[in-house]
Structure 1
């Protein structure tokens, strides 16, 4: 069976130490810039070097996250930072921005790059595409099943990494614009405000409404599935948690280390105890297997409580006592509703005890806050946390070495050891003839077996020579330290690199097309309005929303081709394509003779059709800078810019590129794309064991937030859900300025608009109607994101 890496998070030096002490093979962490966990403690340059050296002293790899999209003005600094990481010996960078990918490939061609989950790589062709672009490892989207992971990892032989434990985003990572568009805090820039953890009301015109934490998934836990996961051929098992406490990192890492070793080397592991410990460390109404076995329903959601739930310990009876469902001890943190207390006294049969166990009936103090009927939860386990706190000590974990000793009278004391196929040897003071009492082997061994603040220790000592002689014990201690420090210094320095910088190259760009306006639509009414406008020459049909009323289909596209020869017809292809990939390829091939090209941001589709069809790159490509535009411009005919750029940033980017770029000037932004369907899960009783009941085809649904903003929810042909912004972005009044920036391609994107609303927007473009700003937003055009 393949060797597999356990990859642990580190938001601080304590977490890094905790992970290494508990058997992590690799650590991932962020610097104080360009990290998708901007609010974690993270590491400045000095601490980063210490962290890298500490990990490398244990042969533990270090991957640094530069997994945000970068503005044009940030590229130079990000590349310089990558150079620093290269120099201090970081093993790989986990990266999202394709502009920085291109620059690092040019300047540091031997620096290993891992494609972040923020790149939304979720099908085999997408994984192949980015491997061909120089990504050594692909961090797969969390939405893949075990069979899909196996196909990409084992069957195609691609090095992959998957998340096995921790918080789960309800939206595909890298595709979420909800926090960005609602509050200006971009998930793509590491500043997500987690709107998914808020309460929402899902309202149907016919089905009624339900209020709950409808977008809040349980945390992922694959501890029971290690055998299947390891057999899938994936290379690395990743624990989420850079924002979590060091004790959490310690506990989760040790349990997954044991679970992996149970499969690989048949060591013992109490799985039930492991599950309990993981739940105590953090859970949201239990755990889910995410999408590992196509679980896409309500079973994976924490509808009632979006934060750590704790472990249920029982319900308060009429007498104020609790029959325990789980053990408790003094110092534990107890929760009821949104309040809580630290357990200071336990009465069992009126006897004061330090701890009580499952099945016992006890009274817990202080009693002032909770009442009869209240459910109590243990939020923190003092005994567990005290135990895990011991794992935060530096150099607790030791690497065992065999020492060979020459203790020869009238010769210098010599200590030898082999490590990583190298032999190390040090010489100390002369061993003298014993004038009184010679040193015993046991006394010399005792001194040699000490370790201290260093990773190594002797677990076995061989005396090549041992005479009756004498030397000061302090001399033995000093020589032992000298040997260990020599090994440590050489190990650390072996990872260091010199910056031999390559030359930044220019791309050969395809993007020289000026199409003007490109309109997309999903319903027959929208298409009807477009056909009534003579100036709407470029029309893209999205035929993948057949669950919507009056949805367009293949025949509509073919009929349009036959009846409107003056129109240029495009096919809008989904951003997310998983199990239906081959069927969508068949649809594209069937329609090739009817269309001028396709609109997509799906890397797998781009890989297949880059030399066969005209491709318009959708805004979900997350193009934020000139180099990212150039990356895609090799394969995409018109790359469209990210919706998160402001006017100043658009202008700056366009100064530096010779590409004819595009920008969306109208449409309801796709805030989230999810495999989870809130409609079927809420009103159709959809769980992981029940099939879809097609609720989205029977009603129109809105998701309403606490500010009473209303977001349309759509379901596509593959049962994927889309949450649209509550208000359309409209930059029609900024057209002249955008043209002055040398932008020549403009998308007008219709999704849930009526015939009349489409006509109104078309009239605004032709200046027959005014853009009434109170109906629209300018998105990030004026404000931008941090």
Structure 2
């Protein structure tokens, strides 16, 4: 059976040590900058070099995450950092920003690059596209089913990596703008404020309301699915958790190591115990299998408690007693409701005990819980003490066989073979024994010692042995010298010479000046656009076709004297062929396609006029260059401010569009909050089409309202509470070199479209409605 990589997270030195000790094949970690876990401890340059050497001494690979979007003024520093990582021997980089990919391919063509899950690769054509662009591995979106993983990994022969355990985003990674737009902390920049973990009220105009943690998914756990994942052809199983404690990493990696070895090498493993230990380490009202079997309902959500739930161990009775449904011990962490404490005393029948067991009726001190409270064990002291034992430097040893020649009058010779290479060292001369000679057992005992180094002799073979004498300290030095020789050669073999070079800074000229491009999803919006003689370019989005008044393919065929564009969804999975079929049906009527789906880009480059949508996350000029051969025009990211747009557009002609009006899509998700709340959607009960029967809004704790739309593929789209409106900034944007502007309509009425058209015509707001300028002035961190 194919060997599969176990990839572990390291947000700290301790986590790195724990992961290696527990059997990880590779580690992913971030530096102080450009990492999607900006709030983890992370590694400075000196720590990074030590981490790389330490991992390589065990034959463990290091992948460094530079998985954030980079502003124009950050590219130079990021590339310098890449040079440092290249020099110290990092095995691969996990990257999101295609601009940085563009630079690295030019300057460090042999540096292995992995497409971050932030790049939202979720279909075969998209995976092929980035593979063609020089990425060795694709970290697939978490939303893929087992069959989709198999198709991309095995059938298409692409090296893939998938998440198997840990936190799950409710939105497709790389597509979420919620934290960015409502709080200025960009998930694409590693600073997500996790608005998905907050309470929301979902309100239907006719359906009523429901308040809960409606966007908070359970953590994923695929411990029971290792067999299928190994057989899927994926290359790497990834544990999420760079923000977690080292004990968590130690425990989770150990459990998955054993589960993999059970499948691949038929080793014994108590799966039930492993599963229970994972629950104790961290869970949010249990676990889900994410989307592995296409469950998109409420079973995968933690509606009641968005943080670590712990394990339910009992119910509070009268007089402060608790009837235990699980075991507890002094030092365990206890929770009831939002409160908690570290257990300092247990009273059983009025007497103090160190631990108590299922069925016991006890008092837990200090208490504060009341009758009826559910009592949870948040942490198990005994488990954590055991896990801490695996956070020791060089605890794990690599077994070697040593060969010795111990002959009087000659230097003692010690040699071994490691990774196919022979290493040997000579020590002091063996002296003739004047009194008692060293026996073979004493020499063997000294050489089998280890210390703070990864290697240890499990067996010593004597090619020659004569009665003689040598100091024990000399034997220790000899062993140390050999091990250090191996360590130095093994780690230095990964070093590379940094390349001093730069990519040619050429002037980019792509596409053409299109003026304004208007998109719509309803017939009423389309009617308003057709009636306006100033409107020349219209993009029709038919992906909401199940809704009343939605557009259809027929609408393309009935419009005259306008340039029409087919607007694709951002996410296209099993319906990919159907979307292609739709494009082909309207191809005679359209000028081109607006898309941010790289699978569609791959299929239609050189065939149709392509406009890249804003969810391609274009943050810098190099990102424009990355797509230069495939796309005629790109829409810049909505997370850029005016200064950043100006800087990006220097030395660029008419190749970029900017969105100046529309309700920004904050999230797109496979999970359906409407069906789960009002349609009773779960893994066992199918959707009743609730999203098509009513109008729904999510309301947050500040009473901001976010429109929720379901599309033809039953994906959920959450729109910003306020429309972006930059019509008064159009003159300034034109001064930056922007000449194409995007105006997108989603939930606007016919009359509202007319108002916005008038505003765009005059570059001035014409009513007193509330808008947002998004990041145009403030920008993101």
Output the TM-score relative to the length of structure 1: 0.98
**Distance of aligned partners of 1:768 and 1:460 in 2 relative to their CA distance in 1, 3 Å threshold:** closer
The question of whether the paired residues in 1 share the 8 Å contact of 2:654 and 2:739 is answered with no
Between the aligned partners of 1:773 and 1:488, the Cα distance in structure 2 is 70
Between the aligned partners of 1:331 and 1:512, the Cα distance in structure 2 is 66
Aligned pair 1:610/2:605, yes or no? Answer: yes
Between the aligned partners of 1:766 and 1:515, the Cα distance in structure 2 is 15
Structure 1 counterpart SS, 2:390: helix
1:381-396 map, 5 Å: 381-396=380-395
**Distance of aligned partners of 1:230 and 1:242 in 2 relative to their CA distance in 1, 3 Å threshold:** same
The question of whether the paired residues in 2 share the 8 Å contact of 1:345 and 1:365 is answered with yes
Between the aligned partners of 2:335 and 2:100, the Cα distance in structure 1 is 46
**Equivalent position to 2:581, from 582, 586, 591:** 586
Give the superposition deviation at 1:503: 5.1
Task: Name the structure 2 match of 1:700.
Answer: 695
Deviations 1:589-641 (A, max 9, x none): 11111111111000000000011111111000100000001111211111110
Give the superposition deviation at 1:509: 6.1
Structure 2 counterpart SS, 1:406: strand
Task: Name the structure 1 match of 2:715.
Answer: 720
Give the superposition deviation at 1:772: 4.5
Task: Name the structure 2 match of 1:78.
Answer: 78
Between the aligned partners of 2:653 and 2:449, the Cα distance in structure 1 is 65
Between the aligned partners of 1:326 and 1:151, the Cα distance in structure 2 is 43
Task: Name the structure 2 match of 1:641.
Answer: 636
Task: Name the structure 1 match of 2:442.
Answer: 443
Task: Name the structure 1 match of 2:363.
Answer: 363
The question of whether the paired residues in 2 share the 8 Å contact of 1:633 and 1:639 is answered with no
1:309-708 map, 5 Å: 309-367=309-367, 369-501=368-500, 504-505=503-504, 511-560=510-559, 564=560, 566-708=561-703
Between the aligned partners of 2:544 and 2:770, the Cα distance in structure 1 is 25
Task: Name the structure 2 match of 1:744.
Answer: 739
**Equivalent position to 1:733, from 723, 728, 743:** 728
Structure 2 counterpart SS, 1:229: helix
Contiguous gaps of at least 5 residues in structure 2: none
Give the superposition deviation at 1:357: 1.9
Give the superposition deviation at 1:773: 6.7
Give the superposition deviation at 1:559: 1.7
The question of whether the paired residues in 1 share the 8 Å contact of 2:507 and 2:652 is answered with no
Between the aligned partners of 2:731 and 2:542, the Cα distance in structure 1 is 32
Between the aligned partners of 2:64 and 2:517, the Cα distance in structure 1 is 40
Task: Name the structure 2 match of 1:133.
Answer: 133
Task: Name the structure 2 match of 1:779.
Answer: 774
Give the superposition deviation at 1:688: 1.6
Structure 2 counterpart SS, 1:488: helix
Deviations 1:174-229 (A, max 9, x none): 00000000000000000000000000000000000000000000000000100001
1:285-296 map, 5 Å: 285-296=285-296
Give the superposition deviation at 1:558: 1.5
Give the superposition deviation at 1:338: 0.8
Give the superposition deviation at 1:508: 9.6
The question of whether the paired residues in 1 share the 8 Å contact of 2:656 and 2:740 is answered with yes
Structure 2 counterpart SS, 1:295: coil
Structure 2 counterpart SS, 1:211: strand
The question of whether the paired residues in 1 share the 8 Å contact of 2:708 and 2:719 is answered with yes
Between the aligned partners of 1:466 and 1:359, the Cα distance in structure 2 is 64
The question of whether the paired residues in 2 share the 8 Å contact of 1:314 and 1:322 is answered with yes
Between the aligned partners of 1:186 and 1:500, the Cα distance in structure 2 is 32
The question of whether the paired residues in 1 share the 8 Å contact of 2:117 and 2:173 is answered with yes
Give the superposition deviation at 1:512: 2.7
Structure 2 counterpart SS, 1:18: helix
The question of whether the paired residues in 2 share the 8 Å contact of 1:524 and 1:551 is answered with yes
Structure 2 counterpart SS, 1:676: coil
Give the superposition deviation at 1:352: 2.4
Structure 2 counterpart SS, 1:141: coil
Structure 2 counterpart SS, 1:693: coil
Deviations 1:461-510 (A, max 9, x none): 10111111110000000100000000000000000001234552568967
Aligned pair 1:107/2:102, yes or no? Answer: no
The question of whether the paired residues in 1 share the 8 Å contact of 2:203 and 2:698 is answered with yes
The question of whether the paired residues in 2 share the 8 Å contact of 1:507 and 1:631 is answered with no
Deviations 1:87-122 (A, max 9, x none): 000000000000000100000000000000000000
Task: Name the structure 2 match of 1:51.
Answer: 51
Between the aligned partners of 1:690 and 1:568, the Cα distance in structure 2 is 44
Give the superposition deviation at 1:659: 4.8
Between the aligned partners of 2:2 and 2:501, the Cα distance in structure 1 is 35
The question of whether the paired residues in 1 share the 8 Å contact of 2:727 and 2:764 is answered with no
Between the aligned partners of 1:658 and 1:387, the Cα distance in structure 2 is 62
Deviations 1:128-148 (A, max 9, x none): 000000000000000000000
Between the aligned partners of 1:769 and 1:505, the Cα distance in structure 2 is 40
Deviations 1:412-464 (A, max 9, x none): 11100100100000001111111110111111111111000000000011011
Between the aligned partners of 2:349 and 2:248, the Cα distance in structure 1 is 34
Output the TM-score relative to the length of structure 2: 0.99
Aligned pair 1:96/2:91, yes or no? Answer: no
Give the superposition deviation at 1:774: 5.5
Task: Name the structure 2 match of 1:307.
Answer: 307
Deviations 1:694-748 (A, max 9, x none): 0010000000000000000000000000000000000000010000111111110
Of residues 536-545 and 347-356 in structure 1, the stretch that sits farther from structure 2 once superposed is 347-356
Deviations 1:639-682 (A, max 9, x none): 11000000000000000434521010100000000000110011
Between the aligned partners of 1:712 and 1:547, the Cα distance in structure 2 is 17
The question of whether the paired residues in 2 share the 8 Å contact of 1:760 and 1:769 is answered with no
Task: Name the structure 1 match of 2:170.
Answer: 170
The question of whether the paired residues in 1 share the 8 Å contact of 2:70 and 2:620 is answered with yes
Between the aligned partners of 1:512 and 1:595, the Cα distance in structure 2 is 16
Give the superposition deviation at 1:326: 1.7
Structure 2 counterpart SS, 1:776: coil
Between the aligned partners of 2:711 and 2:602, the Cα distance in structure 1 is 23
Between the aligned partners of 2:694 and 2:773, the Cα distance in structure 1 is 30
Aligned pair 1:9/2:9, yes or no? Answer: yes
Give the superposition deviation at 1:340: 1.0
The question of whether the paired residues in 1 share the 8 Å contact of 2:728 and 2:765 is answered with no
Structure 2 counterpart SS, 1:74: helix
Structure 2 counterpart SS, 1:582: helix
Deviations 1:247-270 (A, max 9, x none): 000000000000000000011111
The question of whether the paired residues in 2 share the 8 Å contact of 1:633 and 1:659 is answered with no
**Count of residue pairs brought into register by the alignment:** 781
The question of whether the paired residues in 1 share the 8 Å contact of 2:691 and 2:709 is answered with yes
